[in-house]
Structure 1
Amino acid sequence: MTNSPCPILEFDRTFYQYPCNSRSAIQNLSLKVPVGKRCGLIGQNGCGKTTLFLLANGLYQPQQGTVRWQGEPFRYDRKSLTKLRQQIGLVFQNPEHQLVASTVEEDISYGLYNLGLAESEVARMVGEAIEQFDLTELATQPVHNLSLGQKKRVSIADIMVLKPKLLLLDEPTAYLDSCHTRQLISLLQQIHAIGTTILLASHDLDFIYRWADWVFVMDRGQLILEGTPETVFAQRQVLEQLQLGVPLAIELMEEIRAIVEHDGNSNIETFEQWQQQILQARRLL
């Protein structure tokens, strides 16, 4: 019998409390991020998702418990954190909090120069990132002229140019239109295909259901549920108690199941007939 692989990131009975808050933002959290997976993190605002990311990137240090990277506890000296942040990349919800330079190519090069790399090596890596993330036409553009979707793409390129093993994204689809959301999903597929583990927080349950291999559900700083999307979203009663609900696809499947169980050997043969039955079940007709 083979042992399961060591999680790439682990929280072990971790606590974190903000100075002006009487309740811990993270409370006795034990959570393991499986290596090589696309992981979704869901929960209401204030459940601790963003704090988890800040702990995962070493920006915060837990007051109790341990955070481990590839089996080893975090070390919080400057040298160790610099090395850690090359391997664990964090993309904030608001790209304005991350974009620091005047132009796109300057912004992508910023983190590389901080590593003390030679000019030629920086130029090579920036060029590769610009091509990989389809930013050639924007390379010399001022960052402040970009659309929100373009800024999010640049902020991801800023991190991926460092070639991290784990990418953390806080609400990456927030405020994006459907076109930019599709582009982002395609980009995440490319990133995962090169071997990057992804942990992504989102309120978009339909997106998480379609995209994730593994789902974590948080509430009040604690892990409530985890598992495959099918396993997690089958726990409808728990999710509704947390005021999360379930993806539309789950709702439709439940309605179809109810129709079939009600009608027995159903004579429904066409999509239009199914559509009418579902709408009737929803009392929209």
Structure 2
Amino acid sequence: MSSSVFQNQSSHRISTHGVGSVLRSIFAYRISCVGFVIILMLVIMAVFAPSIAPQDPNVQDLYHVLEGPSRRHLLGTDDVGRDLLSRVIYGARVSLLVGLISTAFSAIIGVFVGLIAGYKGGITDMIIMRITDTFMCIPGLILLLVMAAALGPGIHNIIIAITLLGWTGFARIVRGQVLIIRELPYIEAAHAAGASGFRIMFKHLLPNAMAPVIIAVSMTIGGSIMLESAAAFLGLGVQPPTPSWGEALRIGYSYLEIVPLFSIAPGLMITLAVLAFNFLGDGLRDALDPRLRGEGKKVE
């Protein structure tokens, strides 16, 4: 954001507009409404999976292997006779869990690192940013695969690997905001009044740098879901029999001509989840960035 956005301490705090105002701004745009509805459906699917799923996702039926859609199995069965619809529904749990937790950890680490770098400046800023740049220079998928292979497969290790990938973006965002905000008059006044560095960072700088962080969180969740699915597709994610969209996509790829829905269903869910969080991020950007208000397509 440009410095004109930050004219005074109250002008750029999210709380000034109020949560209700932000939500109204989000729902004023078709694209963010679509994203919110899809995310809500995915959350309901994940939370109430035992009630929604027609069958136990781990029960095998070797007499009905690789069957197409039927009244008993609406999406068909997989290579060991498990119900595909049930596994797709339960797979939402893994994807959302990994996406939310890894993004939360990435945001916490990145915000703290960026806050320190932007506030301290000088040699501290230079060292932190060079470390950040080093991480960002490595292709994300390659680094994820190396870390997943080193740590071993499993949901906890995938969360750790994605967290180590995701914090750099948040660090750069927060650092950029802090470099602007720290030059404003009210920050200088806080220094003159004898406020401690801790108070200035966490009471004045951080709250006023959170708008772009919130936008980035929504976008990052979608990216984390994609990375988890990619790791699972390569056999480094959540291990069977735990249902996972990426794992289903990996196995179903071998039977694409026999049972197309084996791959299409989980692939479609991954696509919808990633798009939904990106759509919501677009709405949050329009709602929280004063420069962009009124530029989106509103609901008529």
The TM-score by the shorter chain falls in which range?
under 0.3
User: What TM-score, normalized to structure 1?
Assistant: 0.25
* Greater relative contact order (Cα < 8 A, sep 6+): 2
User: What TM-score, normalized to structure 2?
Assistant: 0.24
